[in-house]
Every structure is written in structure tokens, then in C-alpha cells.
């Protein structure tokens, strides 16, 4: 599928005139974005809509690269971008006349956004939670098409929702694939939990048994495995391909990145370089099998496969990133994860995290957690942080739950490129993990 009225073949012919050499990459990236937002409980306009379209053309050689990007798509802009990237105009300049992306012709429609706050209110009442709340709800639409001189990927579309809530005790944010009753229920539960823990004391520092719910496991694995195995991060300390075969974590951990198996409306067939995505084993039984790579790192190392390139927008360069992590289920029933963790902490979600790829260290923070007692989940504790070395943390995994749950793993903002990340994860139990108040 192409954008309606768009002629990718002409773009492809023009790119072929750039005569890329062996190992050079040339492509054009076209993008349409729409973000419709409603806010409750705050000042300002009720309905907010941002719409944009634009493109980027790039030529990458082993030691140099040029990228030209623009807002809007018309023949003059394409010609100017082409000239800048080509450095020298070919004898027969390509014709771009008539090439344009579809206009945004209709007013934004946001009925599902406008209905969701009421749905959430009902779900909060069912949980007997009455809390002052400011809610920012957004629907994100992203359409991209990447065109190379020989390969024209189909246009791809992602639609998803994000929620940012301000409540006593802090902020809460999440990504949602749908705005249905189940999403309202899950959001209400998370908000009520954070609200009820607002005055809870933080846990005492020290090593603990931790049980992570699937949502918390998703964030942790994104920070400590996916970022660690991005080829550009691996290159900070050596050849990215040399990570292959390294025993990075517990043999209980098998983790994939599979953008083709993400929630239906964000599923991808090709990445942001137009390369078909792959079901990529990051860890198989704790051992690194295939780091995340884009075309540049695949070409440079000769040992990695492309297909994991993502870009925050046309104005930013693609780089290797995960899209949808999938943790293979283990053998431990979810209830047993908790019943065998007496004295530990149960973390439902992590609010944020970061990795230092050079030092191999990480930190993740949670707004609240629950103590695990003999009878199951007990009193709430306040903000906590896990900090340590990636290898130590992954070796501390002693059980993987037998049930996967799919959902948003949050926004990832590596090097200023803000991207949604998805995951299908199971619960995890870790032992001897250092916990400190945040």
C-alpha cells in the first residue's frame, strides 16, 4: 500500500540516479503524523490537534553521510533536498512535479478520546478511589513510507494512545493500544495504587527478593537488555558482533524483539529504513544471539542483520532500537512467583529507567511497591530505585512467570529520539537485588 496519489516509483528512479556505490545507502523517508489531544482538569483548549508531514533524503557512505529533511512535501522541496544530498546534480535532473502527500482535509475526530475520561471515572469508582486528577490523553497516528533506489517498502501505519496523569503523589504515564473498558480498568488500578501509596515510606535499602509484574518486567528488560544490545551502544566498547554468544543473563531468560507481533495497530512489516522486520532472538536461554542493528551497523560489522532501525522523526537519523519485546513464558505460575518470595517486594510498574552502556550499569525507579508477606501482598512502600550492573541483575532472575501480557512499555527517549516501545512480558522473580529509596 502507498500513500493515496503518491508516486514512489518516480522517487526510486531519482534515487537511482545518485548512483550509490557498493555499500552506500540511499533512501527517502516520507512521514505523516497526527496527534489529537484532550485534557481534563486543566486550563487551555479542550481539543488540541497537531498534524505534520514531511520527508528526509539521505545518502550514507562508510565514512560520511548526508541527510536533508523538510516539513511539507512538494516538488521544490524535493528538488532542493535532492540537490543537497547529491552534491552534484546529475546531467538529467529528476522531475518531482506533482509529487505530494495527501492533505489533512477533515477536522480531527476524537470521540473515543472524549469518552475515555468518563470510562476511567467509572473504573475508579469501582475501585472506590476518589482522587483529584489531571489527565492528558493523546491519540498518535504515524504513517511512514521508505523508498530506496531498488526497494520500495509499503506505507506503514501505527495508531496508539498515550496517557499522562497528574495526581497527588506524582505523575503517571503509560501507552495504550486501545481505549476500551479493559484499558480504563488497568489505568484506574495503576492510578489508585499510586495514589494510595503517596505517603508510604520508601523501603529500607539492601538486597531483596523482587517480584516484577509483567509491566515492570517489560520496562526493566527494555532498559537492561534491549538498550545493551543495540549495535551503536555495543560499539562504544568494541565490535558489536563480539557480543554474540556472550552469556548475559540467567538461562531462564529468552527474549525476542518482534515488531511484526506487536499489538495489532502498531504492528510493523518494515522498519524505518524500509527493511523487513525480523523475529530477532536477543537472548536465547540467557545467551546473546542477535543484537539490534540497522543497515549501517549490519554493513559495517558484516555479522548483524538489519531490520531494527527506528527514527523519532524525519529530522533525526535512524538508529537501532527495539520495537516490541517478547519474553518467552517460563514454568512458574504467577501466584507462585509471589508465594515463594516472602519478605520481598512486588513491583507493578517502573516509572523510568536508564542505562549507561559504557559502564554496563542501569537504574530503574518505581513510584511504589508492595511488601510480600506470608499471606501474599501486604503494605505499600514508596519510591524505590534498583541500581547495579546489567550482568548481575540478569543473573539474579530465578523464575519467569508462565503467562505473558501484552502492552505498552512506555516512551523511550534515547538520544532525544522519543519513541513508543511495546512488550509482551511475563512476571519475573529476582533474588539479591539491591534496592534503595528513590
Partner 1 sequence: MIRSLPEDVLEVIEDLRSRGLEYVEVFYKKGRTRSTATVADRHLGGHAQEEGWAVRAGTERASFFTAESGHACRAAWPEPDGQGLALPAPEAPQWTPPPDLDAPLASDTEAVGLLASIERALGAELPGARLLRAQLEDGSAEITIASSRGVAASYRARLCSLRAWARLGEHRVEVQVAEREPRRLDVSAVARRLADRLAILDRGAPVDRDRAEVLIGSDIGAALLEALAPFLIGAHGLRILRALADPQGRIASEQLTLVDDGGRRDGLLSAPVDGEGVPTRKVTLIERGELVQSLRPWWERLDGRVSGCSRRVGWRDLPDPGPSHLFVQPDPRQSVAGLLGDLARGYYFLDIEGPATIDPEGDRFAVPVLGFAVVGGRPSAPVKGVRLHGSLRSLLRGVAGVGRDLRFVPRGRGVVGAPTMLLSGVEVSAGPS
**Per-residue contact string for residues 321-360; x = within reach of partner 1 by CB under 8 A:** -----------------------------------x-xxx
Closest by Cα among 24, 28, 32, 2 to 14: 28
CA angle 115, 120, 122 (to 5 degrees): 100
Nearer to partner 1, 33 or 303 (CB): 33
Q: Does 382 bind partner 1 (CB under 8 A)?
A: no
Q: Does 63 bind partner 1 (CB under 8 A)?
A: yes
- Residues 242-271 touching partner 1, rule: CB under 8 A, are none
Closest by Cα among 147, 132, 124, 141 to 193: 124
Q: Residue 139 in contact with residue 110, Cβ under 8 Å?
A: yes
Q: Does 388 bind partner 1 (CB under 8 A)?
A: no
What distance in Å separates the CA atoms of residue 435 and residue 427, rounded to the nearest whole number? 18
Nearer to partner 1, 198 or 287 (CB): 198
What distance in Å separates the CA atoms of residue 69 and residue 81, rounded to the nearest whole number? 7
Q: What are phi and psi of 49, to 5 degrees?
A: -135, 130
Nearer to partner 1, 64 or 92 (CB): 64
- Closest distance to partner 1 from the beta carbon of 436 (Å): 8
Nearer to partner 1, 13 or 51 (CB): 51
> What letter does residue 390 receive in the DSSP assignment?
H
Q: Does 45 bind partner 1 (CB under 8 A)?
A: yes
The helix (H) or strand (E) run that includes residue 436 is: strand 428-437
Where does 125-265 show beta strands of DSSP type E? 134-147, 156-167, 170-176, 206-212, 255-257
What cell does 5 get?
496519489
Q: Does 134 bind partner 1 (CB under 8 A)?
A: no
> What letter does residue 222 receive in the DSSP assignment?
I
- Residues 67-126 touching partner 1, rule: CB under 8 A, are 67-72, 77, 80, 84, 104-108, 114
Q: What are phi and psi of 268, to 5 degrees?
A: -120, 145
Buried b / exposed e over 381-402, threshold 16 CB at 10 Å, is: bbbbbbebebeebbbbbbbbbe
Binds partner 1 (CB under 8 A): choice among 236, 331, 335, 413:
236
- Closest distance to partner 1 from the beta carbon of 110 (Å): 8
- Closest distance to partner 1 from the beta carbon of 428 (Å): 25
Q: C-alpha 318: how far from its chain's center?
A: 14
Q: What are phi and psi of 238, to 5 degrees?
A: 150, -160
- Residues 136-175 touching partner 1, rule: CB under 8 A, are none
Q: What are phi and psi of 337, to 5 degrees?
A: -55, -40
In this chain, which stretch among 66-74, 275-283, 396-404, 405-413 interacts with partner 1, using CB under 8 A? Answer: 66-74
Nearer to partner 1, 48 or 284 (CB): 48
Nearer to partner 1, 88 or 264 (CB): 88
What cell does 175 get?
501507552
- Closest distance to partner 1 from the beta carbon of 67 (Å): 4
Q: Does 182 bind partner 1 (CB under 8 A)?
A: no
**Per-residue contact string for residues 13-42; x = within reach of partner 1 by CB under 8 A:** -------------------------xx--x
Binds partner 1 (CB under 8 A): choice among 13, 50, 265, 418:
50
Q: Does 48 bind partner 1 (CB under 8 A)?
A: yes
- Closest distance to partner 1 from the beta carbon of 314 (Å): 8
Nearer to partner 1, 71 or 403 (CB): 71
- Closest distance to partner 1 from the beta carbon of 135 (Å): 12
Closest by Cα among 421, 408, 413, 420 to 33: 420
Q: What are phi and psi of 291, to 5 degrees?
A: -65, 165
Q: What are phi and psi of 69, to 5 degrees?
A: -130, 155
What distance in Å separates the CA atoms of residue 53 and residue 307, rounded to the nearest whole number? 24
- Closest distance to partner 1 from the beta carbon of 129 (Å): 24
> In the complex, which residues of this chain contact partner 1 (CB under 8 A)?
38-39, 42-54, 62-72, 77, 80, 84, 104-108, 114, 235-236, 315, 317, 356, 358-360, 387
Amino acid at each position: 500500500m502507498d500513500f493515496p496519489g503518491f508516486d514512489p516509483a518516480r522517487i526510486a528512479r531519482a534515487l537511482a540516479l545518485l548512483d550509490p556505490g557498493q555499500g552506500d545507502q540511499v533512501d527517502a523517508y516520507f512521514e505523516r503524523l497526527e496527534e489529537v489531544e484532550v485534557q481534563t482538569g486543566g486550563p487551555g483548549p479542550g481539543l488540541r490537534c497537531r498534524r505534520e508531514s514531511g520527508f528526509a533524503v539521505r545518502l550514507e557512505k562508510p565514512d560520511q553521510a548526508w541527510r536533508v529533511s523538510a516539513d511539507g512535501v512538494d516538488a521544490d522541496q524535493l528538488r532542493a533536498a535532492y540537490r543537497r544530498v547529491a552534491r552534484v546534480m546529475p546531467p538529467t535532473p529528476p522531475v518531482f512535479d506533482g509529487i505530494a502527500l495527501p492533505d489533512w482535509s477533515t477536522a480531527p475526530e476524537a470521540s473515543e478520546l472524549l469518552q475515555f475520561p468518563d470510562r476511567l471515572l467509572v473504573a475508579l469508582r469501582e475501585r472506590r478511589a476518589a482522587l483529584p486528577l489531571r489527565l492528558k490523553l493523546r491519540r498518535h497516528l504515524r504513517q511512514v513510507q521508505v523508498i530506496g533506489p531498488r526497494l520500495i517498502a509499503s506505507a506503514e501505519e501505527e495508531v496508539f494512545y498515550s496517557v499522562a496523569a497528574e495526581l497527588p503523589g506524582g505523575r503517571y504515564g503509560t501507552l495504550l493500544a486501545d481505549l476500551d473498558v479493559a484499558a480504563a480498568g488497568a489505568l484506574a488500578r495503576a492510578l489508585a495504587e499510586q495514589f494510595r501509596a503517596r505517603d508510604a515510606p520508601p523501603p529500607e535499602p539492601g538486597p531483596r527478593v523482587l517480584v516484577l509484574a509483567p509491566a515492570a518486567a517489560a520496562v526493566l528488560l527494555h532498559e537492561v537488555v534491549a538498550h545493551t544490545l543495540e549495535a551503536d551502544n555495543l560499539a562504544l566498547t568494541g565490535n558489536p558482533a563480539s557480543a554474540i554468544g556472550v552469556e548475559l543473563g540467567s538461562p531462564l531468560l529468552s527474549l525476542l524483539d518482534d515488531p511484526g507481533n506487536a499489538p495489532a495497530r502498531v504492528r510493523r512489516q518494515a522498519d524505518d529504513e524500509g527493511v523487513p522486520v525480523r523475529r530477532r532472538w536477543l537472548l536465547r536461554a540467557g545467551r546473546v544471539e542477535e543484537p539490534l542493528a540497522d543497515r549501517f551497523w549490519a554493513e559495517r560489522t558484516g555479522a548483524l542483520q538489519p531490520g531494527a532501525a527506528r527514527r523519532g522523526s524525519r529530522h533525526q537519523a535512524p538508529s537501532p532500537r527495539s520495537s516490541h519485546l517478547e519474553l518467552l513464558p517460563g514454568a512458574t505460575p504467577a501466584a507462585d512467583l509471589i508465594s515463594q518470595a516472602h519478605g520481598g517486594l512486588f513491583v507493578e510498574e517502573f516509572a523510568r529507567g536508564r542505562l549507561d552502556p559504557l559502564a554496563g550499569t542501569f537504574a530503574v525507579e518505581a513510584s511504589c511497591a508492595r511488601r510480600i508477606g506470608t499471606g501474599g501482598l501486604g503494605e505499600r512502600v514508596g519510591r524505590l530505585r534498583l541500581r547495579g550492573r546489567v550482568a548481575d541483575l540478569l543473573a539474579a532472575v530465578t523464575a519467569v512467570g508462565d503467562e505473558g501480557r501484552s502492552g505498552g512499555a512506555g516512551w523511550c527517549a534515547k538520544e532525544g529520539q522519543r519513541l513508543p516501545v511495546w512488550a509482551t512480558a511475563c512476571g519475573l522473580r529476582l533474588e539479591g537485588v539491591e534496592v534503595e529509596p528513590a
